[in-house]
Amino acid sequence: MTPSEVREMTDAELVEALAEAKEERFNLRFQLATNQLDNHARIKAVKQDIARILTVIRERELNAVDARSGTEERA
């Protein structure tokens, strides 16, 4: 998942993608513990996807706060 793909998602899609990525990370960690994991690099990729999603969510939260505080100061 590229950063541009994440930025194009709606808020609801981001929440859903985050839940799916966290579930996948859990399953990968479980496979690692039971020596069933074939692709160890996938763990890193999923962790990066989670970080990208959380970053975009946080950016949107901060932009919403800035937009609200900017209108209150002008009133």
Whole-structure pTM value: 0.87
- pLDDT, residue 72, reads 59
17-60 pLDDT per residue, tens: 999 999 999 999 999 999 999 999 999 999 999 999 999 999 99
Question: Which has more pLDDT, 70 or 27?
Answer: 27
Number of folded domains that form the chain = 1
Instruction: Give dist(CA 49, CA 18) in Å, integer.
Output: 8
Ordered alpha helix ranges (H), 1-75: 3-8, 11-33, 41-74
Contact 46, 25 (CB under 8 A): yes
The structure tokens listed for 51 are 């970080």
- pLDDT, residue 75, reads 42
Is the model's pLDDT at 70 over the cut of 60? yes
Looking up residue 60, the CATH number of its domain turns out to be: 1.10.287.310
Range of the domain at 60: 3-74
